[in-house]
Amino acid sequence: MMKDWNLVADIGGTNARFGVFCRRTQQLEITHSYAVADYPKFEDALAQFLNEIDSLKQHEKLPRFACLAVACVPDNEVIQFTNSSWRFQKSDISHQLGGAALVVINDFAAVAYAIPSLNTSDYIEIGGHSATVDKPIIVLGPGTGLGVASLIPNPDSGYSVVGGEGGHADFAPVTPLEISILAELQKRFERVSIERLLSGAGIINIYEAIASIKGREAKLDSAAAIAQAANDGSDSLALSAMNAFFAILGSTAGNLALTLGAMGGVYIAGGITPRYPDLLRNSEFRARFEAKGRFKSYLQPIVLRVITKDHLGLLGAAERLNILENS
């Protein structure tokens, strides 16, 4: 007997991840990831996934419901991705899915939907005392871009998820080095948002800016190479760049925690931070999170958790559909 299923997807600027969420078992049963660069259109990647699921002969040909978590503004009929050339119309995707009910949400809103289901084994804790129940929670994370979302407690129970585009707020430098980095980046960009520093491309931007400031050659040309050279101690310039990256991440997380009153905790997701826990712990990440002058004591109790669990965006998209079906 073929299984009923819901389609969940987490679509970023680099990878598009698809999953089969079984409606009966409430489990994520199959996942596939595709490189965005390998497919001219989103519809092509979706068709590839649907064909692969159909070939397994385990599930119905098409899903009942679908939730797409997208790395861009999700509210318009035409979805235009921020960090890739992909674009699609919601009505076209619904038609491709045989009329399945379609929900499109921000990719970090999807991450936020998954936060309440996390266990202690799903994250690394970096300081703080405890998370206060029924208080706001912030989620942010650098990857291809910088995602930001929040969870606001409901009066009765549970949380409401609020997505947004907080990664495109202005970069606010704190130290003399960061002021110099901003000046370097202003030569290249009309406006310097936080995402210009807190992302994969941002690591390269920081590295090249520090090289220019110090009059040194920037020999490394990828975020992965810079992070690895910093991690193994083979390049002092790379280490300076990653230290600056994590310090700015801590400062940004602290700003968001102050803005929202995130006594429920601050969660760091994305594809970069969980890979380098030692660099994170040895940086000024936590100190900069708390370095808010008169409000240091306000931030000190707040827990910072770096999420290590896989497929968080897919699980959050599935939770969004569960809420829709049960409402």
Estimate the crossing angle of helix 236-260 against helix 200-214, to 10 degrees: 120
Do 247 and 227 lie in one domain? The reply is: yes
Regions of the chain short of the pLDDT cut 70: none
Give the structural domain span for 145: 119-308
pTM across the whole model: 0.91
Do 302 and 192 lie in one domain? The reply is: yes
Do 37 and 125 lie in one domain? The reply is: no
**How many domains does the chain fold into?**
2
- Whether 125 is covered by a domain: the verdict is yes
Distance CA 234, CA 252 (A): 28
- Whether 112 is covered by a domain: the verdict is no
Do 133 and 43 lie in one domain? The reply is: no
Residue 165 near residue 193, CB atoms below 8 Å? no
- CA 293 → CA 142, 179, 297, distances in Å? 26, 19, 9
**pLDDT, tens only, 163-210:** 888 999 999 999 999 999 999 999 999 999 999 999 999 999 999 999
Do 56 and 161 lie in one domain? The reply is: no
DSSP 253-301: HHHHHHHHT-TT-EEE-SSSGGG-HHHHHHTTHHHHHH--GGGHHHHTT
Distance CA 126, CA 265 (A): 11
Q: What is the pLDDT of residue 324?
A: 87
